[in-house]
Structure 1
């Protein structure tokens, strides 16, 4: 089906702004192509990432409400990162939702275990933005993973941490059904979960703490890990071992300052996971010392 240019433009604008009042116009897409209109011939994939990649951790948790749709949207529009990171939990009915903690206590106005809720009850959850965040933010429901994939999938590379390993099969189904297997990293701290993600045809990401990296032998994972996510506080020798492991991408977390970023890049990391992408964008990396491209504004 071919839509008139005015309808295409309106649907695209609605999709990016998420205006609920325009639901009637958005429904025009339900009988048309399943791929987002912005894809063209296909979704944006990891092959499009620059040589040095910047990731908005939880959307950029020092700048926006973490793991919120409005925060992810703000990070997307600002363009200071090429990847959006978020965390996933699973409700008792199997619905995958976006939240870091296994309980609601820290980031919402409610309390209790996420696992004890169903999707109907989830509709009543509201995030509690931190008072220290710049700007003014409304309270909103944390999104489901499906909602995030539908809004951003194929438009920007995503990084999803599977906090509940039992959710991996459902997560794989959501990603593959949307044609996003090369557009979404699936993250875990467990090498066995990374191996399972690889076997499911996903891009497997493995994160490791500074303490874990002291004992790790990252070269053992290179056959199934697409992205090694390392603690920037690790010793130089441990970061160098990760960089030389043969794993295609080695990105450093969770970086807050230009000095932390420059050290990780100087040691050979090719990605920066940060709570403050806007701050790092205002302080370009010292490209002359590390021979890398400056961050795009």
Structure 2
């Protein structure tokens, strides 16, 4: 059971004390209203997308059910991002690091835990996160899919590549293969995910983008997730690669967002979705959207 106490900050006051929406999922009752004849899919996303990175890690406790619920309820992001890890017994859970040390009240490698151990772990929000949050157990991937699957597009990073088959099973078993991006930094993992019928995402650092040739991945990557700190030329090469979606991470200021959009990216992955939503997009002077012809 997740308890959500209060949120603070501009645009969040209306959510203070709000009970998380009653969400139903796989085996949990009728399909959400948003589904219509099926779940909300990647194809339904707007032309320019905002992603709540780890739920919006500067605004909510990262990778927590309460944080994801807050991001979903606020509606400032069209995609919810989270990280996945595998326990020693094969259970897939939601956590970024390979150890429990940074974000929970427990220490040690995630891989040494079993599900019974995981249920005793509690999230420890960072001090910079606004508001008051009651201790809660970090979720399993199945729990997140059951709560949000089909209601909002999800982005799941497979931190443990060996978990890809199990992750595909959870996604496809719930009819969510077209509703979830499966993310990795490794092209070979993206190729495997594509072969499993999943929507594939590949993220690359600024350093990697210096020598990358993204066009080589266009046949099996649906979303290229690029570092906003990359050089203009590297971002433009990514935009012109033939990969249909190019989003930039991890953006925290309106100026960072405006630059990558002006260079042709069609989405941003951000730790501060609420902050960005309060500032309309401004295209910097001298920039022309990559690939656009003069006069258009």
TM-score, normalised to structure 2, is 0.87
Match of 2:250 in 1: 254
> Contact 2:263–2:288 (CA<8 Å) still a contact in 1?
no
Secondary structure, in 3 states, of the residue corresponding to 1:181?
coil
Kindly state the Cα deviation for residue 114 of structure 1 after the two structures are TM-superposed.
Answer: 0.5
Q: Which runs of 4+ in 1 moved over 2 A?
A: 14-18, 29-33, 35-38, 287-292
**Contact 1:129-1:138 within 8 A present in 2 as well:** no
Structure 1 residue aligned with 2:192, among 172, 193, 196? 196
Cα deviation for residue 286 of structure 1 reads: 1.5
Distance in 1, matches of 2:28 and 2:180, equals 26
Q: How does 1:1-297 map to 2 (within 5 A)?
A: 16-17=21-22, 35-36=31-32, 38-286=34-282
Q: Is the 8 A contact 1:56 1:75 kept in 2?
A: yes
Output one character per residue of 1:140-176: Cα deviation in whole Å (capped at 9) or x when no partner. 1000000000000000000000000000000000000
| Residues 94 and 210 (structure 1), Cα distance of their counterparts in 2 relative to 1, 3 Å cut | same
Per-residue displacement from partner, 1:208-258 (whole Å, max 9, x unpaired)? 000000010000000000000000000000000000000010000000100
> 1:133 Cα deviation (Å)?
1.1
Give the Cα separation in 2 of the matches to 1:251 and 1:101.
23
Classify 1:255/1:31 alpha carbon distance in 2 versus 1 (closer, same or farther; 3 Å): closer
CA contact (8 A) 2:84 2:159 kept: yes
- CA-atom RMSD in angstroms: 2.2
In 2, the alpha carbon distance for the partners of 1:188 and 1:51 equals 23
Q: CA deviation at 1:55?
A: 0.1
- The structural deviation recorded for 1:16 is 2.8
**3-state secondary structure, aligned to 1:185:** strand
Distance 1:31 1:151 in 2: 9
On the 8 A contact 2:191/2:221 being kept in 1, the answer is: yes
Aligned residues of 2:228 and 2:248 also touching (Cα < 8 A): yes
Q: How far 1:130 moved relative to its partner?
A: 1.3
Shift of 1:132: 1.6
Query: Once the two structures are superposed, what CA deviation does each residue of 1:77-132 show, in whole Å capped at 9, x if it has no partner?
Result: 10000000000000011100000001100000000111011111111000101122
Please state whether the residue corresponding to 2:21 is helix, strand or coil: helix
* Pair 241,31 (structure 1): closer, same or farther in 2 beyond 3 Å: closer
> Cα 1:267–1:291, aligned 2, differ >3 Å: closer, same or farther?
closer
The unaligned stretches of length 5 or more in structure 1 are: 1-13, 19-25, 293-297
Structure 2 gaps, min length 5? 1-18, 290-296
More helix by share: 1
